[in-house]
Amino acid sequence: MNIEYADRLKRLPPYLFEEIDRAKQLAIAEGRPVIDLGVGDPDLPAPDFIIRKLNEASRDPSVHRYALNKGLRTLREAMADWYRSRFNVDLDPDTEVLPLIGSKEGISHIPLAFINPGDVVLTPDPGYPPYNSGAIFAGAEVHVMPLLEKNGFLPVLEDIDSDVAERCRIMHINYPNNPTGAVCDSGFYSRLVEFAQRHGIMVCSDAAYTEISFDDFKPLSFLQTKGAKDTGIEFHSLSKTFNMTGWRVGMAVGNADILAGLAKVKANIDSGIFTAIQIASIEALQNAEKVVAGMRKTYKERRDILIKGLDAAGWAVPCPAATFYIWAPVFGKYDSTGLARAALEKADIVVTPGNGFGEFGEGYVRMALTVDTGRIEEAVRRIRKAFFS
Ligand SMILES: *Cc1c(COP(=O)(O)O)cnc(C)c1O
């Protein structure tokens, strides 16, 4: 039988990381000493006290059954409490907090609740791929908002075509930003709320990286903006904050009507987060401050070694105020793919070609600070030797 994919799968943008993935696997198989700066996944484990709580909770026979779809009330309360203490944002745990099986789950499902044929979803380019794929699965027309260096990697709202803005139902934004490492201020969020209200757009803010910031910079929540809760929701996640990417716990918070739509989709697709993981997540959220201080110190140390080392070698790369990503402009004759290929061939270093995040990511490679300082120092030495000597 000839197995044909559905049109929606054929409409997905090409997966441009395939070549680098394959080359990396080959290099590892050949026994080469690969340093992988490609993965946006913390190398450190979840803190021990969270793991202990999971162990303890999983021994209770009652947690092994299907979880409640909307999550334990105590988890929703812990999420609301964390938003209040961290951002001074008030949320009703019953209507304004929805636990997710990782924020990617909610990001990719939200268009199913609100998109009809002909509706537009606006996504940042470069950007996190699920913004586009979720929209495509729901049958949306996807329009991108270029994130350019000259605009601080913020979308220029005035540049959005008025017909597109009128047909737009969902706009994804993401600060601190993956892959650019850019951050935004309250003025941007205010302009965004005004724009969204004017055009009847639901804003979906992805705040996965608000806890990974440096040098006293405190990223904001979109929901701190006046009027934000009327027009949007925010996705957050325990993944990056607590080194819990594999556990799959995230949340959507904000506008109750938008969350009710997402909850309705989810009730037909999943059956919640394993209850023991929810209980351990409460423990994590209640102790967030003591975890994140150490994490910030670790990434800052790595960031500084990499930025200073590359600068000394002759590669000037902007220093991010948040996230664990370095968004480095390519140099010489290289484009994104060419530099990623050469880094692996000449230096056994994996970096991510920027064009894999969208056409406006061309001209950059992304390096993740998810390896220890010793390996970052070694990566700098190899880059200097391979490209700058
Ligand atoms: C890592 C990441 C997330 C978190 O995804 P989870 O599904 O919660 O693990 C969300 N958005 C962006 C941009 C990310 O890089």
Domain positions in the chain? 7-45+290-388, 48-288
What is the strand order of the sheet 232-237 is part of?
97-100, 250-254, 232-237, 202-206, 168-174, 120-125, 141-146
* Token reading at 174: 């993401």
The pick from 39, 103, 107, 352 for probing ligand 1's pocket by mutation, whose C-beta has the most ligand atoms within 8 angstroms, reads 103
User: Cis omega (within 30 of 0) on the bond before 176?
Assistant: yes
pLDDT per residue as tens digits for the range 344-369: 999 999 999 999 999 999 999 999 99
Cβ-contact 328, 307 below 8 angstroms: no
| Range in 21-25, 60-64, 98-102, 370-374 the model is least confident about | 21-25
For ligand 1, mutation pick of 131, 237, 370 (most atoms within 8 Å of CB): 237
Question: 57 CA distance to ligand 1 centroid (A)?
Answer: 25
Whole-number pLDDT of residue 15: 82
Distances (CA, A) of 38 to 29, 88, 92, 242, 376: 17, 35, 38, 20, 13
Between these two residues, 222 and 118, which has the higher pLDDT value? Answer: 222
Is 305 in contact with 311 (CB distance < 8 Å)? no
In angstroms, what is the C-alpha Rg of the chain?
21
pLDDT at 316 over 90: yes
Q: Are β-strands 232-237 and 202-206 bridged in parallel, bridged antiparallel, or unpaired?
A: parallel
Other beta carbons less than 10 A from residue 31's beta carbon: 7
Confidence of residue 310 (pLDDT cuts 50, 70, 90): very high
Q: Give 239 Cα–ligand 1 centroid separation in angstroms.
A: 7
Residue 49 in this model has a pLDDT that exceeds 90: yes
Per-residue pLDDT, averaged over 288-301, amounts to 95
Model confidence at 16: pLDDT above 90: no
> For the domain 7-45+290-388, what is the CATH superfamily, name and number?
Aspartate Aminotransferase, domain 1 (3.90.1150.10)
pLDDT of residue 14: 82
**Of all residues in the chain, what percent carry a pLDDT higher than 70?**
100
Quick check: 376 pLDDT over 90? yes
pLDDT, tens only, 163-181: 999 999 999 999 999 999 9
pLDDT at 378: 98
Query: Strand, helix or coil at 363?
Result: coil
Mean pLDDT, the chain, as a whole number?
A: 97
Q: What is the mean pLDDT of residues 185-189?
A: 98
Whether 48-288 and 7-45+290-388 are alike in CATH topology: the answer is no
Q: How far is the CA of 110 from the centre of ligand 1 (A)?
A: 15
Give, rounded to a whole angstrom, the gap between the first and last alpha carbons of the chain.
56
248 CA to centre of ligand 1 in angstroms: 10
Q: Which of 20-24, 109-113, 173-177 has the lowest mean pLDDT?
A: 20-24
Determine the distance separating the centroid of ligand 1 and the alpha carbon of 210, expressed in angstroms.
Answer: 11
Residue 204 sits at the vertex; the CA angle it makes with 202 and 205, to the nearest 5 degrees, is 140
Q: Which two tokens stand for residue 148?
A: 């350019």
pLDDT exceeds 90 at position 69: no
| pLDDT score at 334 | 98
Helical residues (DSSP H) of 181-255, grouped into ranges = 186-199, 228-231
Q: What is the mean pLDDT of residues 120-137?
A: 97
Residue of 105, 131, 211, 239 to mutate, ligand 1, most atoms within 8 A of C-beta: 239
Give distance in angstroms: CA of 104 to centre of ligand 1. Answer: 6
Which of the four pLDDT bands, split at 50, 70 and 90, describes residue 239?
A: very high
Write down the number of H helices and E strands in the chain.
Answer: 14, 12
Contact 173, 204 (CB under 8 A): yes
Percent of the chain with pLDDT over 90: 96
In this structure, the residue with its CA closest to atom 14 of ligand 1 is: 208
pLDDT tens per residue across span 248-261? 999 999 999 999 99
| Protein residue closest via CA to atom 15 of ligand 1 | 178
Residues within a 6 A CB radius of ligand 1: 40, 102-104, 128, 174, 178, 206, 208, 237, 239-240, 245, 250
Which two structure tokens, joined as six digits, stand for 245? 């990417």
Band of residue 52 on the pLDDT scale cut at 50, 70, 90: very high
Q: What is the pLDDT of residue 21?
A: 87
Read off the pLDDT of each residue in 148-153 and give the average, rounded to a whole number: 98
Tell me how far apart the alpha carbons of residues 385 and 291 are, in angstroms, rounded to a whole number.
Answer: 37
pTM score = 0.97
Paired residues of 97 in beta bridges: 253
CA–CA separation, 124 and 373 (whole Å): 31
Q: Are 296 and 213 in contact (CB under 8 A)?
A: yes
**Best mutation site among 79, 110, 178, 238 for ligand 1, i.e. most ligand atoms within 8 A of its Cβ?**
178
Question: What CATH number matches the domain at 48-288, 2.40.30.10, 3.40.50.11540, 1.10.8.50, 3.40.640.10?
Answer: 3.40.640.10
Question: What is residue 319's predicted lDDT score, i.e. its pLDDT?
Answer: 97
The answer to whether 212 and 296 have CB atoms below 8 angstroms apart is yes
